[in-house]
């Protein structure tokens, strides 16, 4: 049996449910299915197929990526674990929706000189959107949807809240901030109160995987150029004054804060500080030039509040691997918000997300403009 402490507050134990579990063939989703079954729910495993055989792919294959030609291996693992658990299992084709939403956004953002976060859009629109919808359209009945994300969900008054996981090192709320009230009302996060070490131990104890099992980390298992499908376009690498320091083959191959790969000799290290798609330029500066104390965010999604009509003090997170930092958020007339940090932050990157927290509660977030 699974430890009771894993289950308290992680799922609705007061009633029996038929729960659809998104299974990736990895440790976390496998343990999520296990915990739900041990809690007495009827569990149905499902994997979304997002790779089309006609997709371009070149170069060395990276393991442990969500999107790539090695998808069949992940499906085989998810099917095997489902068999060990004795649960119903399905594979649903979500490739068309994934390409139309996630890949097209990925392409347009990079070509506009921004750095997108495809996992954010995949979660809100595909994994928690298209997948459950396609499952119901396929005749699969279920009462709730669950994944192996490290996050928690609760309710405050009439609003569902997204909250950080017990294991803050693995917390994945940054990637989930675009979930809607309806999605949160139907979701379960069985690993919300577990640690990664506990999940891995359970996986090994139940014979799902061996100790050397890796976890998925990357978005794509090939080179991003495969997805962008664009020819090299020579341009200049310039400093803040416009002085040409070198050349590049495509501004979309760079990101804000990048230091390596510039191939420019300099007495002090140079960093990418801006991408100019219109001029086809990569602008570089020194480390102090990578810091900024403010940003504007658009395309907002609020969770803990219906909307924001005043300024509010928050902890703001501008990248998944960073920690939340003190900031003041203020609304603007055009529907965006300004975010001013108490201390300058390094590599504020257009296209990435900024997520707002108060304690462990996710207020909402938006895309950095």
201-217 pLDDT, tens digit each? 999 999 999 887 777 66
CA distance 237 to 244: 6
CA distance 4 to 11: 11
Three-class secondary structure of residue 83 per DSSP? helix
Q: What is the pLDDT of residue 4?
A: 44
341 vs 6, 272, 322, 344, CA distance in Å? 36, 21, 14, 6
Listed residue (180, 147, 146) closest to 162, CA to CA: 180
For the whole prediction, is pTM greater than 0.75? yes
Q: Break the chain into its structural domains and give their ranges.
A: 4-220, 231-285, 291-368
Three-class secondary structure of residue 332 per DSSP? coil
Report yes or no: 113 and 251 within 8 Å, Cβ to Cβ.
yes
**What is the dihedral angle through the alpha carbons of 58, 64, 68, 69, rounded to the nearest 10 degrees?**
80
81-113 pLDDT, tens digit each? 999 999 999 999 999 999 999 999 999 999 999
Domains 231-285 and 291-368 share a fold: no
Spell out the residues 6+ positions from residue 69 whose beta carbon is closer than 8 angstroms to its own. Answer: 51, 55, 57, 61, 221
Is domain 291-368 annotated with CATH 3.40.190.80? no
Spell out the residues 6+ positions from residue 171 whose beta carbon is closer than 8 angstroms to its own. Answer: 150, 151, 164, 165
For range 120-124, the mean pLDDT: 96
DSSP state of 125: I
- 4-220 folds as Rossmann fold (3.40.50)
22-63 pLDDT, tens digit each? 999 999 999 999 999 999 999 999 999 999 877 777 666 666
Spell out the residues 6+ positions from residue 227 whose beta carbon is closer than 8 angstroms to its own. Answer: 56, 103, 106, 107, 220
Which residue has tokens 């995987």? 209
Q: What is the pLDDT of residue 217?
A: 64
Q: What is the average pLDDT score of the chain?
A: 92
First to last CA, the chain: 48
- Per-state percent for the chain, helix, strand, coil, to nearest 5: 25, 30, 45
Three-class secondary structure of residue 327 per DSSP? strand
For 280, left (φ over 0), alpha (ψ -120 to 50), or beta?
A: left
- 231-285 folds as SH3 type barrels. (2.30.30)
**What is the dihedral angle through the alpha carbons of 222, 260, 114, 280, rounded to the nearest 10 degrees?**
-110
116 vs 110, 119, 287, 335, CA distance in Å? 7, 9, 22, 21
For range 340-356, the mean pLDDT: 97
DSSP state of 40: T
């Amino acid at each position: 049996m699974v430890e009771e402490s894993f289950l308290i507050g992680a799922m609705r134990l007061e009633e029996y449910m038929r729960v659809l579990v998104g299974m990736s063939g990895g440790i976390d989703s496998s343990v999520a299915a296990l915990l739900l079954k041990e809690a007495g729910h009827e569990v149905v495993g499902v994997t979304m197929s997002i790779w089309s055989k006609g997709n371009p792919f070149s170069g060395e294959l990276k393991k442990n990526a969500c999107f790539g030609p090695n998808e069949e291996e992940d499906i085989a693992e998810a099917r095997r674990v489902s068999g060990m658990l004795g649960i119903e299992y399905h594979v649903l084709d979500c490739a068309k929706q994934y390409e139309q939403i996630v890949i097209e956004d990925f392409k347009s953002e990079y070509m506009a000189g921004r750095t997108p976060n495809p996992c954010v859009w995949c979660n809100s629109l595909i994994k928690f959107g298209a997948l459950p919808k396609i499952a119901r359209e396929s005749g699969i009945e279920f009462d709730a949807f669950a994944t192996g994300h490290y996050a928690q969900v609760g309710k405050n008054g009439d609003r569902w809240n997204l909250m950080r996981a017990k294991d803050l090192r693995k917390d994945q709320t940054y990637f989930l901030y675009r979930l809607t009230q309806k999605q949160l009302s139907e979701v379960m996060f069985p690993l919300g109160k577990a640690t990664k070490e506990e999940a891995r131990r359970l996986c090994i104890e139940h014979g799902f995987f061996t100790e050397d099992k890796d976890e998925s980390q990357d978005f794509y298992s090939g080179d991003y150029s495969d997805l962008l499908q664009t020819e090299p376009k020579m341009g200049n690498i310039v400093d803040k004054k416009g002085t040409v320091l070198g050349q590049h083959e495509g501004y979309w191959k760079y990101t804000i804060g990048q230091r390596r790969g510039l191939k420019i000799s300099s007495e002090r290290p140079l960093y990418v500080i801006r991408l100019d798609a219109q001029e086809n330029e990569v602008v570089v500066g020194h480390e102090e030039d990578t810091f900024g104390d403010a940003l504007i965010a658009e395309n907002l999604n609020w969770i803990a509040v219906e909307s924001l009509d005043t300024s509010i003090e928050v902890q703001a997170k501008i990248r998944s691997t960073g920690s939340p930092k003190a900031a003041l958020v203020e609304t603007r007339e055009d529907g965006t918000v300004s975010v001013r940090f108490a201390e300058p932050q390094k590599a504020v990157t257009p296209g990435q997300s900024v997520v707002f927290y108060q304690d462990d509660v996710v207020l909402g977030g938006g895309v950095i403009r």
